[in-house]
Amino acid sequence: MKFFNPIRLFLFMAVAGVLMFQSCREYEVEQTRPLVRAHNSEVFERWNDVFLQLDRYAVGYRPGPVPHALGYLGFTAYEAVVLGMPQYNSLANLYPGLSVPQFDESLEYHWPAVINEVYAFMMKRFFFHMENTYPNEFSQIEKTRVLLRAKYASETTPDILERSEQRGQEVARVFYDWERTDEAAHNAFLNPQPPYNAPTGPGYWTPTIPDFTQALFPFWGQVRTFALREEEQLARPPIPYSEHPQSLFFGQAFEAYSMVKNIKENGPNAHEQRWLAEFWSDDILGLTFSPPARLIAVADQVVKAENLNLEEATEVYAKMGMTLNDVSVAIWQSKYVYNVERPVSYIRRVMPQYYPDAANWTTILNNPIAGFQGVTPGFPAYPSGHSGFGGGGGKILSAIFEFNSKRPGTYTFTDRCHLYRSEFIGTPRTLASFKDLAYEDAYSRIPLGVHFRMDCDEGVRLGELAAQRVLELPWKK
């Protein structure tokens, strides 16, 4: 016969109580530790403002280094905080040579402080050449870091803040060291016009009037991509070159010629065409931010309007930056494979026998900083960089903001990037979707006079492909 043992029962209950308390304690830690989504997206808003101002004056940064820097900033910030985003995966293991430092998931981090240090660390190194040439703009990096740090110090404890800042610095250092291994990209802005032996003959690109800028970044196609595969990085062949007035090539030149002529002569719909062309230009260093950075400026407006939390914003800027980087690689590789001449060269050389005034035809892209009229960017025409950035950025925004229960494929959006500008028509434009935004950005290059339609068509395709490959990465668990 078994007897009841009160001492044994007491010991059992005591051990069970300890285990239950420990289990509940672990569960409480797991559930109450603040996650990335508990914060707002202000840290990105502040740092993107600084980036856009630096980008406006960054000599040698257009067109490749800008999207490259945005790609690394967005990806680094994502990896620095992804363990505070339970539904998301780290992507670091997809890239040979990249090993992100681990950290104790049971400890608390102030996630905006992590991102604050990532951006400060990376931007000081990406824009180091501006410390002496543009000291006021460069100083905003440290001023922004200190300002945000003071805010975060009032929101958390000293040990959590220190731990968070150390996390941001460690991850940023790893990513910057990894970026340095990409020799085609690292500090390429210091030599944006290396020696380049361009092919010669009818239809091939040559430096254009009036400034005859030499080839910019002819080897940018060798830069590392995040998602776009090597076999996808070359554009489809352009329309065959021809000087016959009934050819497709001649027809595309005639479109650019006639649209610019209509604008200059104030013909039908001339104001709308000029507005479209100037609104999306962003070509001139010192006047506005660059074409790829324009997509960040657009994203900033949407992120703010939608009041995204920090987790959502982290996803937006990682996907956008990585897409813009990959677009730049594919577009510039293709430009220097095909070496298609610009409309101004073809129109002035081929078309005067049919249209005499074509001999003096110029674009409507003016550079008030350098004092040049009728300029064309200093690289081959096909495919269009603007179109690639617009296509890629537009697809990322569409994937995130349009195809959901609230907006099944549309997003009415007013772009106020150039509100109050007086050097060109910066009046805000309202668009019915991000697809419309991408197409406006792309096809604005025709009335400006710097691209053929085929450049824009293929640029959009490559941009959307790059975005699709980024979207296909294993972001979610």
> How is the chain split into domains, by residue range?
35-190+203-471
CATH-assigned architecture of domain 35-190+203-471: Orthogonal Bundle (1.10)
The Cα 384–Cα 441 span in angstroms is 10
Tens digit of each residue's pLDDT, the chain (477 residues): 333 344 443 444 444 444 444 444 433 334 468 999 999 999 999 999 999 999 999 999 999 999 999 999 999 999 999 999 999 999 999 999 999 998 888 899 999 999 999 999 999 999 999 999 999 999 999 999 999 999 999 999 999 999 999 999 999 999 999 999 999 999 999 999 999 999 999 999 999 999 999 999 999 999 999 999 999 999 999 999 999 999 999 999 999 999 999 999 999 999 999 999 999 999 999 999 999 999 999 999 999 999 999 999 999 999 999 999 999 999 999 999 999 999 999 999 999 999 999 999 999 999 999 999 999 999 999 999 999 999 999 999 999 999 877 777 789 999 999 999 999 999 999 999 999 999 999 999 999 999 999 999 999 999 999 999 999 999 999
Q: Output the six-digit token pair for 229.
A: 């595969």
The Cβ of residue 314 has, within 10 Å, a number of other Cβ atoms equal to: 29
- Give the relative orientation of helices 291-305 and 310-338 as an angle to the nearest 10 degrees: 160
DSSP class per residue in 76-140: HHHHHHGGG-TTB---GGGSTT--PPP--TTS---HHHHHHHHHHHHHHHHTTTHHHHSHHHHHH
What is the phi/psi pair of residue 368, to 5°?
-70, -20
DSSP 8-class letter at 187: T
Q: What pTM, to 2 d.p., does this model score?
A: 0.93
The Cα 400–Cα 396 span in angstroms is 6
